């Protein structure tokens, strides 16, 4: 898997979340694909592994990555100025047949691939609505950034409880008015979309990844295909899968 050195064009920090931008002139990205990224300035191999991050946005020239700062790797990325080492584009993203309208559903930091997806749908002239949960644990800075980054989205404050009347799915109401659902959120949200959706749905799963080239099988996901339970690699065959084939979203890593 080839590594590309890219220059950081800009970075932002809002609470526990960060955004990086870099110029990209290689193979075009598709919504739902991801990047393996690490800081160029890292003097050692600690942390040893790159971080898998969804492409948040891509305009044909500049890629942006949205992520939550959780550990040493993402903390280093959030303050990186020297540059990045990236392997990209990776994986299989969202697939469309042109039917509309489409509902985009997300929550927390897991909204990351929906910005690029919305851009692609706009380019294709496909009508769509965006529904985003803003968890009570989110910082005010991140909530404000979401409202500015997704100006046409319906933002739903939530306490994270599936039984709460204020959830993104309660605003969707009757799924039948949409031709398809595209969801990227915490595992509980994805499981609920799988359970209640009456129209075709695609789920962007977040799996822990090591190699991202299919060698280690560390990101294996159980699926139903042709009546049999199989395991497939999220880094190659995913990370976006049809909801009907995912065995158990709760087994997927956030």
Span 42-51, pLDDT tens digits: 656 677 788 9
pLDDT at 37 over 70: yes
Residues 6+ away with beta carbon under 8 Å from 200: 179, 180, 181, 242, 243, 244
Of 63 and 208, which is predicted with more confidence?
63
Neighbour-count burial for 215-240, b at 16+ CB within 10 Å, e otherwise: eeeebebebeeeeeeeebbbbeebbb
Residue 19 and residue 12 in contact, taking contact as beta carbons nearer than 8 Å: yes
- The mean per-residue pLDDT over the stretch 50-58 comes to 95
Q: In the predicted model, what is the mean pLDDT of residues 82-99?
A: 92
Is residue 161 over pLDDT 80?
no
* Kind of pairing between the strands at 128-135 and 154-158: parallel
Please say whether the beta carbons of 180 and 202 come within 8 A: yes
The CA radius of gyration of the chain, in Å to the nearest whole number, is 17
Closest CA to 127 of 153, 91, 99: 99
148-158 average pLDDT score: 90
Mean pLDDT of 230-240: 93
Give the mean pLDDT of 102-122. Answer: 94
* Residue 146, both tokens: 């979401």
Residues annotated in a binding site for [2Fe-2S] cluster: 211, 216, 219, 235
pTM equals 0.91
Residue 165 in this model has a pLDDT that exceeds 80: no
Per the listing, tokens 């942390």 go with 47
pLDDT the model gives residue 163: 52
Mean pLDDT, range 169-195, rounded to an integer: 87
Q: Mean pLDDT for the chain?
A: 88
Alpha helices in 84-186 (DSSP H): 114-124, 140-149, 168-172
User: Binding site residues for FAD, as ranges?
Assistant: 73-74
Q: Which residues are annotated as a binding site?
A: 73-74, 211, 216, 219, 235
Q: Selecting from 2.40.30.10, 3.40.140.10, 3.40.630.30, 3.40.50.740, what CATH number does the domain 4-90 have?
A: 2.40.30.10
Residue 207: pLDDT over 60 = yes
Give me the pLDDT at residue 132, please: 93
């Amino acid at each position: 898997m080839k590594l590309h050195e890219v220059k950081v064009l800009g970075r932002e920090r809002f609470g526990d979340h960060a955004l990086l931008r870099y110029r990209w002139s290689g193979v075009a990205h598709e919504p739902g694909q991801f990047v393996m990224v690490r800081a160029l300035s890292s003097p050692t191999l600690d942390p040893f592994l790159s971080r898998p991050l969804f492409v948040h946005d891509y305009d044909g020239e500049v890629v942006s990555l949205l992520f939550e700062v959780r550990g040493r790797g993402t903390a280093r990325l959030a303050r990186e100025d020297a540059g990045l080492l990236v392997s990209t584009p990776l994986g299989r993203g969202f697939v469309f047949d042109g039917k509309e309208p489409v509902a985009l559903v997300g929550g927390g930091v897991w909204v990351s691939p929906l910005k690029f997806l919305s851009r692609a749908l706009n380019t294709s002239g496909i009508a769509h609505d965006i529904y985003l949960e803003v968890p009570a644990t989110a910082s005010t800075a991140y909530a404000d950034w979401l409202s500015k980054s997704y100006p046409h989205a319906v933002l739903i404050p939530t306490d994270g409880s599936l039984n709460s009347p204020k959830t993104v799915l309660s605003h969707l109401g009757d799924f039948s008015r949409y031709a398809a659902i595209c969801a990227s959120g915490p595992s509980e949200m994805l499981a609920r979309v799988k359970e209640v959706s009456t129209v075709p749905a695609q789920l962007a799963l977040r799996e822990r990844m090591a190699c991202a080239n299919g060698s280690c099988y560390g990101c294996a996901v159980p699926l139903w295909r042709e009546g049999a339970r199989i395991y497939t690699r999220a880094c190659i065959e995913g990370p976006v899968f049809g909801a009907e084939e995912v065995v158990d979203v709760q087994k997927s890593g956030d």
